[in-house]
Chain A
Amino acid sequence: MEAITTASVYLFSVQGLFLIVIGTALGITMGAIPGLTGAMLIALTLPLTFGMDPVNAFILLISMYVGAVSGGLITATLLRMPGTPASIMTTLDGYPMARSGKPGRALGLGITASFVGGCISWLFLISLSAPIAKYSTKLGPFDFFSLVLLALVLIASIGGKSISRSFFSALLGVFASLPGIDKATGNLRLTFGMEELNGGLKLLPVLIGMFAISQIILDLCRIGETITVIPVKRKREMLFKVKDWKDQALNLIRSSVIGTWIGILPGIGANIGSVTAYSAAKSMATPEEKEQFGKGSEIGIVAAESANNATIGGSLIPLISLGIPGSVIDAILLGGLLIHGLQPGPLLFQQNPEMVYTIMGSMIVANVFMFFFMVFAVRYLARLASVPRSLLMPVILVFCIVGSFALSTRMFDVWTMLFFGLLGFAFERIKIPLAPFVIGFILAPIAEENLLMGLMASNGSYLPIIQRPVSLIFVVSSIVLLAIPLYKRYRSR
């Protein structure tokens, strides 16, 4: 109880509210500019929070997360360019509806759906995290190892188009996590005599490189493309009417629950959540409604946008209760918690309950603020897409460089970032997905540490992996997930 009070004091102080406003607004802005993503914004903000109180830092970061996932719908609807990958499904119906003369309606559906999705998943977050955290001390090292295995299989089999490419990417990520001190022997490995590599490759330079630099290179390649924005005039048509609530209630709840569930699954996040909810909504629609999909279906917009916001609450659950990130952004947040000296997982509830309640509280407050900010500012936000790239890109490059340098004040991290930027660009060109790389990079140390810990405790026996019930469930699920697409491919030949 005391912790809830402390968290509320932080949240509702002038400073706390200011951080929520700034964070959400910046998140929406970044989300609304195609090519700038939430992952990029949060990765670049993290070094700035080193000097802040951890609670304030997380108020800011969580607000950015909420804003970034929501902001993408603006450009998706008005430009047919998803501002963030999470809004890809919104382009399918939002843009046709906007083209047909109802841009305000399309945006309104998306904004309200985002808000409801966020609220429903928040309810899951506050009710599920504590029980899961309490139970999770019973999970042994092998259970965690199998969970990470499941995460890698999930992102490879569901997240990408080609399983072999996804696994290749994930394994390269694992490889990138290896340099540094071998956890088993305490000796150095794969450092090639470079003393800067003793601590391994740092999360932030790799992430900034992979997501920001590679994206900048892509954007610069496309700098000449002209952008036309559909103007939005009336504000009133943006709000839901009673009839809308009645029509969309079931869809909202179903899509939000799907989004939350996809969010909870480790490794996959907002984009997959909205794809899944969209297809579920489509398959459950009546034939007349089905006809509308892809041509401006209200159901489609609501499903996609409520689900992608619902993944936020969902993916925060494994992050704070198990210390396993539910998506790429959560992986950056995990890094942030560690940098601030906090170990997410079962003990966060006992050691730093105020942090847990701050994360939960800022999510809902930011969600409410996001709703009002989007309704009032959406007309101006759409114009952001036409900010001249020629001015924006050098500025973001400088931010990337300073952000990587500030991490531990050394040039090595900047070179690392540039290297991974080029690698990420090369990945994009030869169609190897980036997300598995990052998930592999982040989860591999967790998997390795738990495997070694388990083996040391079992005196070298691997049997507990299939003897422990929880671990067995994860292993069987992984095998099933791998087998299904392979079987499908076999059948189709």
Chain B
Amino acid sequence: MLKVAGHVLIGLLILLAGFQYSKIGSGSGEGFPQRPVRVVVPFNPGGGTDTYARILQKAIKDHNLMPQPLVIVNKPGGGATIGSNYVKDARNDGYTLLCLHEALMTSKATGQSMYGAEAFEAVAATGEMGQVVLVANDSRFATLNELMETAKAEPETLKFGVNLGTPTHFSGIQLETTLPGARFRLVTTGGGANRLAALMGGHLDAAIFSVGELIRFRDNGLRALAYLGENRLDAIPEIPTAKELGYPVFSSNLQYWWLPKGTDPEILDYMASVLKQAMETDYVLERSKELEILPRTILGDELAERIESKTKLFSLMKTEQRVDLPDVTAWTIAGICVFGAMILGKFVFGKRSASEKATEGRMRYDLAFGTLGMCLVYVLLMGLGVLSFVWATIAFIVASGLYLTSCDKRKLVYVLEVALVMSLGLHYVFTVLFAIQLP
């Protein structure tokens, strides 16, 4: 009785999942966009870019600015080059967007990637984030002036925290160039939280942060020396700009929206107008204020001009290494060779015990590698796009289940049930509940 009930329950679940599954992919209309537009964010969920992209996504959805939703896809890693590379090579049909700030330009300047802004069509730049120079509360530097003069008097002694190869690195170098002779000891510190810990612990003399970080970290005992913008910021009116103090550094960053090269200009204009409208909604204005981001939108010629001038600025800067650093790769390989040789020596000259050989005989390598072989075919089929996730999974579970049970007919029902529950169920959980795409 229980068994029958179990089968019925599983059957119902499969029906439900199948019903949900059939709903995906429906929906049609005229013109662009006919299906959801994917926005690739080349960072982890929860980061600055991700947060901002999601704010705009919500505004577009809530105000019905587009007939189809934006879907955020996170492709983190490689200093954002994994995500940018993905969009660069995507089809230029307008359905794949990249949301990435000026790291796209800096990564070309530092040699992290072979391409920069020229490999994309720029749609718009939205939301300006300012940068500030910070010191710890008990720092001996009261003003930016003192900091810069010390950097000149004792070059390469002041420890200045940046994140190598990112816009903060360039701001640090830019600051040096405003006072000939001034040199910092640039120290890479990773992300904002690490930099803050290093500054508070006295391991750095000064560091560059974004305004948003300043607001969040302000209560932890930090002092801002200067704001690297054109005019003083409303949120922090007491902090002078570097320009007022005689060090004209303007360093701000915006979230740019890019489409693959060769995208239809009409689609470009359409997306630009959607983003512009989204930027003007109350929700975006309100959230921008919370995050200390200026709700600025740059489009068209102004955008092209900014990209050109920034690319030029970054390419002129020298980001050479200033300290001799160890070759970690070589040391690791050397260590592997030493210990590998030791093990090999023991293996050749040592003896194997009898009990080891005894367990050897009972191992069913054929089953393990047979199943693994099926698994490889399964992944290959999905990877090449021959079969969709649902069909490939059903086929794989049925095939391997039958193989492992040696085609036991009594277990066939279970195998089929497991196959259907897994394929449809996982597809439902991932695509509908968690909005993660499957192959």
Q: How many A-B residue pairs have CB under 8 A?
A: 256
Complex contact B188–A405 (CB within 8 A): no
In the bound complex, how far is the Cα of B390 from the Cα of A402, in angstroms?
A: 11
Residue of B nearest to A344 (CB): B193
Complex contact B346–A164 (CB within 8 A): yes
List of B residues within 8 angstroms of A448 by Cβ: 328
Residue of B nearest to A451 (CB): B326
| Given A50-B45, A341-B44, A347-B193: A196 and B364 interface contact (C-beta under 8 Å) | no
**Binding stretch for chain A, among B245-253, B283-291, B330-338:** B330-338
List of A residues within 8 angstroms of B363 by Cβ: 221-222
Residue of A nearest to B414 (CB): A391
Interface residues of B in 61-94 (CB under 8 A from A): 73-79, 81-82, 85
Chain A: interface residue total (CB-CB under 8 A)? 89
Is A483 among interface residues, defined by CB-CB distance under 8 A? no
Interface residues of A in 299-332 (CB under 8 A from B): none
Complex contact B336–A50 (CB within 8 A): no
Residue of A nearest to B417 (CB): A391
List of B residues within 8 angstroms of A398 by Cβ: 393, 396-397, 422, 426
| Given A180-B77, A217-B372: A394 and B430 interface contact (C-beta under 8 Å) | no
Contact of B82 among A338, A340, A401, A408 (CB under 8 A): A408
Minimum distance in angstroms from B95 CB to a CB of chain A: 15
List of A residues within 8 angstroms of B5 by Cβ: none
Complex contact B111–A391 (CB within 8 A): no
Is B375 among interface residues, defined by CB-CB distance under 8 A? yes
Q: Is the interface of A mostly helix, strand, loop or mixed?
A: helix
Is A459 among interface residues, defined by CB-CB distance under 8 A? yes
Is B434 among interface residues, defined by CB-CB distance under 8 A? yes
Complex contact A195–B193 (CB within 8 A): no
Residue of B nearest to A185 (CB): B321
Complex contact A391–B201 (CB within 8 A): no
Complex contact A140–B336 (CB within 8 A): no
Interface residues of A in 189-213 (CB under 8 A from B): 189-190, 195-196, 198-200, 202
| Given A202-B77, A220-B364, A408-B77: A184 and B436 interface contact (C-beta under 8 Å) | no
| Given A343-B193, A347-B197, A411-B383: A199 and B371 interface contact (C-beta under 8 Å) | no
0/1 string, B177-192, CB within 8 A of A gives 1: 0000000011111110
In the bound complex, how far is the Cα of B340 from the Cα of A168, in angstroms?
A: 6
Complex contact B79–A167 (CB within 8 A): no
Is A15 among interface residues, defined by CB-CB distance under 8 A? no
Interface residues of A in 100-118 (CB under 8 A from B): none
**Binding stretch for chain B, among A18-26, A171-179, A252-260:** A171-179
Is A386 among interface residues, defined by CB-CB distance under 8 A? no
Complex contact A187–B112 (CB within 8 A): yes
In the bound complex, how far is the Cα of B63 from the Cα of A400, in angstroms?
A: 39
Residue of B nearest to A224 (CB): B364
Contact of B401 among A140, A224, A391 (CB under 8 A): A391
Contact of B81 among A189, A195, A457 (CB under 8 A): A195
Given contacts A184-B188, A187-B110, A222-B362, 4 further A-B contacts (CB under 8 A): A388-B405, A394-B396, A395-B397, A405-B439
Which B positions have Cβ atoms within 8 angstroms of A?
Answer: 44-47, 50, 73-79, 81-82, 85, 110-112, 156, 159, 164-165, 185-191, 193-194, 196-198, 200-204, 216, 220, 319, 321-326, 328-329, 332-333, 335-336, 339-340, 342-343, 346-347, 362-365, 367-369, 371-372, 375-376, 378-379, 382-383, 389, 393, 396-397, 400-401, 404-405, 411, 414-415, 418, 422, 426, 429-430, 433-439
Which A positions have Cβ atoms within 8 angstroms of B?
Answer: 47-48, 50-51, 54, 137-141, 162, 164-165, 167-168, 171-172, 174-175, 178, 180-181, 183-190, 195-196, 198-200, 202, 217-218, 220-225, 338-343, 345-347, 350-351, 388-391, 393-395, 397-399, 401-402, 405-406, 408-411, 414-415, 418, 422, 430, 432, 448-449, 451-453, 455-457, 459-460
Cross-chain pairs A/B with CB under 8 angstroms, 16 sampled: A220-B367, A222-B362, A342-B46, A345-B197, A351-B193, A388-B405, A388-B411, A390-B404, A391-B414, A393-B371, A394-B400, A395-B418, A409-B436, A453-B187, A459-B185, A460-B323
